[in-house]
Structure 1
């Protein structure tokens, strides 16, 4: 269907791998780096991903200083810690004000600089040196970055107002980036770095996706966003494509069919992009030899890699989660997790399970890729279940219009341009959507409300700060709606609210879910359950490739059970999609054993 990706397709010195969490960015970047080094190229591999498992892949400790990778001549690797970089960045910005403002105000400023955008801009500061340092450039044939900056961050860097004190006197409360005064001496270097990124003779952007709808939509969004700022040299890798189906295995046949159906729905923009594939492999992509196998013929994988039998782990199914939520009389239920892990399906299954127990339930989502209409393709929805969809685009545009209207009389044109771009921050969407959430919950006092895709702890703390310190913080709108004010304490009340984290039994989704849990804990919100979704470990597949993958899950299931979750449940990968109210009832019948 698509040609297999090969290092022969690499023509530029700089490579940026990007894509949703869990699609295989790191393993693909590592395998590419090893293959290029094996061909005699001197390669530097750099990760800027907060959830990076680069160290695990090679089995060595890494820092921001490049280190030789054992057993691969010519390959060097480094792991930039963006969290540490962000901490330094925050102190550069906040430090000068510590003696000037009350402690509460300083705490608010620090929280405003704790978002994803701040982490990304700080990481960009770190890898700018790799893009512009002549000594480094002359030392390597290829520099590979695991995780690319977003178009939003790059557009901000291109706006001249980013480099003055505008945000120190700003008039809105959504930004998580803050003034760039802490990096003011880097403006020329940043400009040079952005220019290098958009030079198609120097840089290739490699979008990594899986053969499923949600990850291709994310790749399409990233592709368009980066094209807007001039990064046109793009290619797409569809990772984990099952090459052939095992017709004697029901799970294998269904797995193959689902992937092919998803590929038919690839967005038009991506269809115009040079596209390659990488095979679905049964073994863990860690260790140099396993990485080398990725670019070899699919059938040449040694049988010893396929699977081994492991001791069983007993875990409950989703029915146990639903039973407990009903018994505890939870009024507000959030499903949270990174994209592509099945939050919408789990939220829908929980809602249906509670309705079947006689409760009135309102189910709502803000995920633009989470089609509840598709999930409930039948008119036979129980009368005790109501469904709504909060459109993030509508809510964000309404929110941005309010902020701009309040600020336009006080700002010059350049500052207004910066304000508008600053409002493209992910935190803007979360805050705007949160206010819509609050309105839904306020209208549903007599129902259980199940919310698919919840705001992060960072956003909740921003809102809390805006409420408490609006008169002291010039950046705050000071207009937190009453519904939002009432909802914040409710979310923190575990007698009323339950948080369910949804993940897959894979490295990146588990690490990102862990970061989400830490983020929530800062806001005094503590998830009651982790749900491991789409697990091959609890299917009866006999296909050697799928069975091998099932065994690879067990390490992460054990990690969640022993170290991450207060309580955890597991849902099997189903051969059929559970579409419609009656099919979703199947989740309430599942009791599972990992074998």
Structure 2
């Protein structure tokens, strides 16, 4: 298990409310304690990483401890940056009379389903493929399981969408050339400048620029997907608690990732009742917990399953994270 923090990228996920942000932050503290240069980045739109560190975080890495930086990726900012790039590119070719409609469509796109996920995927992909980042380990504190699985499935969806759009662009260009020749009274300068015999519609600068942009994004997503499937440099850690719903959700998530050839490094059982806890109420809870721990051992027998005790206080601030990091180290991480 100590090799868990020797990867270049580690994703920490799980059902909402199981403590994955605290675990991600404590793992970052533990890695920095061992001399690694670490970045922990929250991808959850409902950020709580800054709350755990008791620090203000934003979209730029901030140094919190020697060797440890943290950031909260802002999906809204990613959407704005992406749409600004698209608008700037389209301004080069759109007629002035079309700009009001273009800007209206861009405003509508901000609220379109999947816009935030696509923008977030692009930012994560750049973090994954950037070999010049000054970090030995990048920890991703991810959104709850369902959101993360959708995020990881986007490369295929975006590739299919890009292929379709490029094919449509090529067909439209060819159709435009044909219509220009068939329309009575049409002028040759209304058609593509490359409509002469042997011309290539793909040489139209508009088509070429759009195609290059789409293909560059598709290459980025595929590079990121190859990285995320590399078990030597990438791993997924699922945090769960010894309760029925987190076990069921984690089992489904582990199965989905393994079917997609994405390496799952371990499951971490958080908030296990400590042995010294006493009283009739806790004894009853411990008996129920033991049945769930046995179920975890059976369901995830092929994965490491370190256990972390339930601490007596909330996890907030560096001192609390240092204590949790020590618990993780005692658990074999």
> Structure 1-normalised TM-score?
0.42
Partner of 1:283: 313
Partner of 2:153: 155
Q: For 1:533-580, what per-residue CA distance to the aligned partner results, in whole angstroms no more than 9, with x for missing partners? A: xxxxxxxxxxxxxxxxxxxxxxxxxxxxxxxxxxxxxxxxxxxxxxxx
What secondary structure does 1:271 align onto?
coil
Once residues 78 and 20 of structure 2 are traced to their aligned partners in structure 1, the CA distance between those partners, rounded to angstroms, is 22
Partner of 1:76: 69
Matches within 5 A, 1:439-458: none
Partner of 1:130: 127
Matches within 5 A, 1:2-17: 9-17=4-12
Whichever structure has more helix as a proportion of its residues is: 2
Q: For 1:430-484, what per-residue CA distance to the aligned partner results, in whole angstroms no more than 9, with x for missing partners? A: xxxxxxxxxxxxxxxxxxxxxxxxxxxxxxxxxxxxxxxxxxxxxxxxxxxxxxx
Q: For 1:263-297, what per-residue CA distance to the aligned partner results, in whole angstroms no more than 9, with x for missing partners? A: 33339652322211111012111111111111436
Once residues 232 and 195 of structure 1 are traced to their aligned partners in structure 2, the CA distance between those partners, rounded to angstroms, is 11
Alpha-carbon spacing, 1:226–1:197, altered in 2? closer, same or farther (3 Å):
same
Once residues 284 and 182 of structure 1 are traced to their aligned partners in structure 2, the CA distance between those partners, rounded to angstroms, is 47
Q: Does the 8 A contact of 1:151 with 1:229 survive in 2?
A: no
What secondary structure does 2:307 align onto?
strand
Partner of 1:243: 274
Once residues 31 and 271 of structure 1 are traced to their aligned partners in structure 2, the CA distance between those partners, rounded to angstroms, is 25
Offset, 1:205: 0.6
Once residues 271 and 121 of structure 1 are traced to their aligned partners in structure 2, the CA distance between those partners, rounded to angstroms, is 35
Partner of 2:27: 32
What secondary structure does 1:60 align onto?
coil
Q: Does the 8 A contact of 2:308 with 2:327 survive in 1?
A: no
Offset, 1:168: 12
Q: For 1:164-196, what per-residue CA distance to the aligned partner results, in whole angstroms no more than 9, with x for missing partners? A: 455999xxxxxxxxxx99865322122111111
Q: For 1:276-329, what per-residue CA distance to the aligned partner results, in whole angstroms no more than 9, with x for missing partners? A: 11110121111111111114369x9xxxxxxxxxxxxxxxxxxxxxxxxxxxxx
Matches within 5 A, 1:294-309: 294-296=324-326
- Among 132, 136, 141, the alignment partner of 1:146 is 141
Q: Does the 8 A contact of 2:6 with 2:137 survive in 1?
A: no
Q: Does the 8 A contact of 1:165 with 1:181 survive in 2?
A: no
How many equivalent residue pairs? 275
Alpha-carbon spacing, 1:90–1:240, altered in 2? closer, same or farther (3 Å):
farther
Matches within 5 A, 1:317-466: none
Alpha-carbon spacing, 1:259–1:89, altered in 2? closer, same or farther (3 Å):
farther
Once residues 25 and 98 of structure 1 are traced to their aligned partners in structure 2, the CA distance between those partners, rounded to angstroms, is 45
- Among 57, 65, 79, the alignment partner of 1:86 is 79
Partner of 1:259: 289
Q: For structure 1, list consecutive stretches of 5 or more residues without a partner in the other structure.
A: 1-5, 170-179, 301-595
CA RMSD of aligned residues (A): 3.4
Partner of 2:249: 218
> Structure 2-normalised TM-score?
0.71
What secondary structure does 2:231 align onto?
coil
Offset, 1:249: 4.1
Offset, 1:254: 2.6
Partner of 2:263: 232
Once residues 98 and 231 of structure 1 are traced to their aligned partners in structure 2, the CA distance between those partners, rounded to angstroms, is 43
Partner of 1:118: 115
Once residues 93 and 107 of structure 1 are traced to their aligned partners in structure 2, the CA distance between those partners, rounded to angstroms, is 12
Offset, 1:84: 2.7
Once residues 98 and 31 of structure 1 are traced to their aligned partners in structure 2, the CA distance between those partners, rounded to angstroms, is 49
Alpha-carbon spacing, 1:239–1:53, altered in 2? closer, same or farther (3 Å):
same
Alpha-carbon spacing, 1:221–1:237, altered in 2? closer, same or farther (3 Å):
same
Offset, 1:7: 5.2
Alpha-carbon spacing, 1:106–1:142, altered in 2? closer, same or farther (3 Å):
closer
Partner of 2:195: none
Once residues 102 and 120 of structure 1 are traced to their aligned partners in structure 2, the CA distance between those partners, rounded to angstroms, is 21
Once residues 161 and 76 of structure 2 are traced to their aligned partners in structure 1, the CA distance between those partners, rounded to angstroms, is 22
Once residues 281 and 254 of structure 1 are traced to their aligned partners in structure 2, the CA distance between those partners, rounded to angstroms, is 19
Once residues 194 and 276 of structure 1 are traced to their aligned partners in structure 2, the CA distance between those partners, rounded to angstroms, is 28
Offset, 1:158: 2.7
Offset, 1:127: 2.0
Alpha-carbon spacing, 1:259–1:129, altered in 2? closer, same or farther (3 Å):
same
Once residues 182 and 225 of structure 1 are traced to their aligned partners in structure 2, the CA distance between those partners, rounded to angstroms, is 31
Q: Does the 8 A contact of 2:121 with 2:154 survive in 1?
A: no
Partner of 1:411: none
